[in-house]
Amino acid sequence: MKTGQTPKRELKSDRPKSGLSADDEIAVLVDTWTHTEYYMHVIDAFPAFGQEYVVMVPYQLDDGTRKVPEIVVFKTLSGANAEKVYIALHSRKERKAVFEVFLSRFESAGGL
């Protein structure tokens, strides 16, 4: 590791998503540093700017207290053993550009 650089934190998809329809797609992500599991609902996956991206929201049971869900955008890479690796977007410019693509796709699909 070079001095002055922060290593990239990765999340890996740990479990297959079998038996789920596209509307119910849940990903179990595991933080490669802390090994914490995160359950995420997949909203969209698409290519943009020569990369693959995925948009997710944390999966939570609706107990009536939830406000607006947090939207998370990851860059998708292929890891060892054909697993998916999700990289958080650190660049504000990249996050904004990718979110604009997602928003356009979402609006085109009748989401707003």
Q: Compute the distance between CA of residue 20 and CA of residue 103 in angstroms, rounded to an integer.
A: 24
Token readout for 107 is: 């609006």
pTM higher than the cut 0.75: no
User: Looking at residues 71-92, what average pLDDT do you find?
Assistant: 88
Q: Which residues pair with 75 in a beta bridge?
A: 53, 87
Q: How confident is the model at residue 44 (pLDDT cuts 50, 70, 90)?
A: very high
For the cut 70, the answer to whether the pLDDT of residue 40 exceeds it is yes
Q: Which of 102, 101, 92, 47 is nearest to 71 (CA)?
A: 102
Phi and psi, residue 47, nearest 5°: -85, 145
Sign of CA dihedral 30, 82, 77, 46: negative
Q: How confident is the model at residue 52 (pLDDT cuts 50, 70, 90)?
A: very high
What average pLDDT does the chain have?
Answer: 78
Residue count (the chain): 112
Q: What is the predicted pLDDT for the residue at 112?
A: 59
- pLDDT at res. 12: 55
Angle in degrees, CA 41, 49, 80, rounded to 5: 60
